[in-house]
Structure 1
Amino acid sequence: MEPLIVDQSEGIKPQLPSFTQSGLDDFLKIIKERGHEKLVDAAILHGLSLSSLNSHKADNKEVRQLPFEGFEKLQQGGIYYGQCVDGMRDGYGLLYCTNRSGIPLMYLCQWEKGKPTKGCGLGILKDKWNKYEGHFDERYLRTGNGSWEDEIGAWYQGEFKAGMRNGNGKYRNLEGGVYEGQWKADKMSGNGKFEWPNGNIYEGQWKNSNLDGIGKLKYPNGSIYEGGFKDSCEHGQGKLTSTNGQFLVGEWENRGPIGVHNCFTKNGTLLYYYTYNIDGTLVKIVEIL
């Protein structure tokens, strides 16, 4: 009897192309030739390599290099190197392009039906890199929870909407100040807390990244102002408490007291009436006997 021969190749799907070093090198070479070597350096700094690409890829999708057609503020003429389905970006891949202002960008992320969904976005602004990690919407914009940082040391962790900080988040600026609270359209708006490097601490309401509304500001010397703010200045009805417990109550304008203020002991006993000019200078003191 003839031995039974089984075709073991039956049912085995051909292996689709993976990311290759030559393919990655060609992609990065195009970026360098267009004068954006800094973007390549930033991508490698943040972990771009052949092994990282193949660790993210799906097994059932081919890898190709495709031209980028452009979208809204992203110019056409960019290059995609990554996984595709039916000639469309789908799976894991890299997109290099520039926006309408000429800023070079790279998306290192998952794609679905031609749109980015989740991963990393890099950009070069004034010869410094910035990096975003998180989700993208169908317009290639940051959305949902994510993190952003730049080469100089500023960072943000929190919520995004339509590419802007929106919702709750924590931010550190270049000077070392830290804000934690609410955001709207990329501005500190709502309730939040800011700590300055000089020791000032503010907790309260914000509008368009200004102290605006009701809040409390603690100064480095230990004194505390509680009351109204406008355009980041003490403004409206307020109370200033000194380190010895005495407190001053009255109207404020552009950081200074105006009109008549009542001065109390820490136990609430009225001590003086202070009268201030509109420029904040003290013009009269009346002692309460």
Structure 2
Amino acid sequence: MGICKSTHIQNQEDLKILQAPILYVKKSPVLGIHRIYIDNLPQLNEFSHMDNQIRRASYRYNENVIYNGQWIGNKRNGVGRLEWKDGTYYEGNWRDDKLDGNGKFVSNNFVIEGQWKKNKLNGYGIYKVDDLYKYEGYWCEDYKLGIGKEYYDDDSQYIGNFDQNVKSGMGIYIWDDGSKYEGMFKQDSFNGVGELKWANGSWYKGEFMNNYLHGQGYYQWNDGRRYEGNYVYDYKNGYGKYFWEDNQKYEGYWKNDKWNGHGILNKSGCVIEGDWIQGKLQIIK
């Protein structure tokens, strides 16, 4: 293998290893504000109509809560509106004193509209908190579960699978500048195989762990440079190939984004094979 007359390598100029900007993924919030009201729904135990016929009536439980709607016996059944003193209300379907069916729950800073079963969100529903957050999708026992969409206050959004309130499974996350990740999620983070595209044109396709580039991957810069190989927590570590302008190439081992270990450099028509430590050539083979 040929040896260049000069083995001096200006690593920072040649490599230009700065990656695209770091992108932050919003966590999926646990939405339970409504439980403060629903866990303490009033019931009527005093004498009233005891037949099984639906009737409509208004009843004030105390100075804080009033109900106007349909009843069967002493229990709210059918369509009705329960309102609290602070203006919070639920309007929709009831069954045996519980929210059951389609209904809308409104408070001073959030709105829930969708399907309920025994006081819990079950089925399709929308949960909006002021202009800060919005979820549209499926629920099971008050947990986000299945396909849904989340919209955040920084104009980013997520479309995909949820499990027990967190992003889990296949999904797409889009930032306000147009950057996009499409792939696997676990516990609200990139985990598994996916593709991340930055707004500046750079992109990465490969393995992720907890939002880090971790495992085998392919990184393409917007100026044509590319890296194929192993990552450990966003750093090139292990074996990899790096290509840049004029068909220049390094193939070998890396540590913390620098050539480290045995490698072969093709630069300006020359071929250098040797051992490297922290990006500096030590021994020529």
Match of residue 274 from structure 2: none
From 115, 120, 133, the equivalent of 1:154 is 133
2:250 aligns with 272
Aligned to 2:91: 108
Aligned residues: 212
CA contact 2:111–2:127 (8 Å) conserved in 1: yes
Structure with the bigger RCO (C-alpha within 8 Å, sep 6+) is: 2
- Counterpart residue number, 2:57: 63
* Aligned residue among 205, 210, 235 for 1:256: 235
CA distance in 2, matches of 1:249, 1:79: 66
Which secondary structure state, in structure 1, belongs to the residue aligned with residue 199 of structure 2?
Answer: coil
2:58, 2:66 within 8 Å by CA — same for their partners in 1?
no
Matched, 1:134 2:114: yes
Contact 2:171 2:182 in 1 (8 A): yes
Look up the equivalent residue of 1:81 and give its one-letter code: N
More strand by share: 2
Q: Contact 1:227–1:239 (CA<8 Å) still a contact in 2?
A: yes
Cα deviation digits, residues 196-215 of structure 1 (max 9, x gap): 12332100000111111110
Letter in 2 for 1:226: K
Identity of aligned residues (%): 24
Tell me how large the CA RMSD over aligned residues is. Answer: 3.0
* Counterpart Cα distance in 1 of 2:117 and 2:154: 31
Candidates 157, 162, 166, aligned match of 1:187? 166
Write the distance in 1 (CA, Å) between the matches of 2:222 and 2:80: 59
Residue 263 of structure 1, CA deviation: 2.3
Structure 1: tracts of 5 or more residues without a match? 1-38, 40-59, 69-76
Partner residue in 1 for 2:81? 94
> 1:202 and 2:181 equivalent?
yes
Q: C-alpha deviations, 1:146-182, integer Å up to 9, x for none?
A: 1121212421111111112110011111111111000
Corresponding position of 1:119: 103
Letter in 2 for 1:130: F
Structure having the larger proportion of residues in helix:
1
**Aligned residues of 1:204 and 1:216 also touching (Cα < 8 A):** yes
Q: Structure 1: how far apart are the matches of 2:184 and 2:107?
A: 32
CA distance in 1, matches of 2:176, 2:253: 33
TM-score (normalised: structure 2):
0.66
CA contact (8 A) 1:64 1:84 kept: no
Q: CA deviation at 1:66?
A: 5.0
TM-score (norm 1): 0.65
